[in-house]
Chain A
Amino acid sequence: MSVSLLVPILFTGVSLSAIYILVALGFTLVFGIMRVVNFAHGEFAMMGGFALLFLLDRLAWPYWLALPLAALMVGVASLLPERFVFRRLYGQELPSMIAALGLSVVLAEGGIILFEVHERSLPSAFSGLIHIGGFTFPEDRLVVVAIALAALAAFWLFVRFTRIGLALRTVAQDREIAEAQGIDTRATYRVTFFLATTLAALGGALFAQIYALSPLMGQVPLMKAFIIVIIGGLGSVPGAALGGVLLGMSESFLNTFYGASVAQFASFGAIILLLVLRPWGLLGRPEG
């Protein structure tokens, strides 16, 4: 394969991977720490897109301000369902999952009522092309990759080096004992949910920038997040990173050479195979 073909494919792969990891990370975090399979995760991504549209279009805020604020707005708003829906259902996997499914429908339909069902595009913040070493990259994609990578790095530093990050890691390993050592695990849940939905909203906003924005767009990121956490292992953060890279890269390659159907076929085929052979994922651990 020639380098001229390889570089754009790799670049697309990197930008897909980065967005996918942003979305999947929150999904896996909510499961790993709170034991909630959050079917509404994709809707928080969708809300990120609309929040960004609102800030850019209505309020004409500069992009650099609008993007992080859009994500934070969704994160703060998500504390409402955390408080009034999920908190009552913690420790009950099935009821919380069904509540999340309900929340997903409520948010998507709410989006349709507010914004109508059609797709729209976000005003492009960057439309230039950048030339590096004989290759041409669209500026907006470069920005997406840079932002996603920066957010992932910030997340890693937070979890690894702060006191709250330490609390998250203990709760993921043994919630009962974390609480019995003096860690307020309810506060930890709140932080987890906030982080997860903020990352999802950021991913959704970036996704909407590259593709399109619609109230129903949450399904796609949720599907990707599912695939990624099945590959990597539900609840595993390194697993989400590995799964995101594998999915992003393989989609980029297969899309280029065989088209979107083959790409979808292959990724879901791989999932079924993995579920049969190694249901706990590549980096996850068997239950029990």
Chain B
Amino acid sequence: MNRLLVVFLSLLVGSVFAHTNEHANLGKQASSIKASGKVFHQSISIIRRMHPEFLHHKRDKTLRQGVRTDEYSLKGCVSCHANKNKTNNQYHSVDKKGQFCSDCHQQVGVSLDCFSCHRTTPKEGFL
């Protein structure tokens, strides 16, 4: 029984780690940053947990006060985390099924309306 529990637990832990460490769809820019061993977000757990607050704060700062820094810009999230379709060299929308933002949101049961207005791929001409 105990052995079974250990097997079960290690499977569970394994799958959690598998999820937390593997993001096959991290995005074109973000993947190459990660591959190069650099960090962008100071802490993964903070960006995971706090990004809704960061984004809401940022949007008021930008729209109502004209503060246009890069930090926590929604344009930035999209530019870095959008994946490219290897066959036609076009970007996938970040909110499409299976893509970076929507994949996780679907798992946790969150739905966003941001992308009814905000562009879902990096801007035209972005490499």
> Are A and B associated in one complex?
no
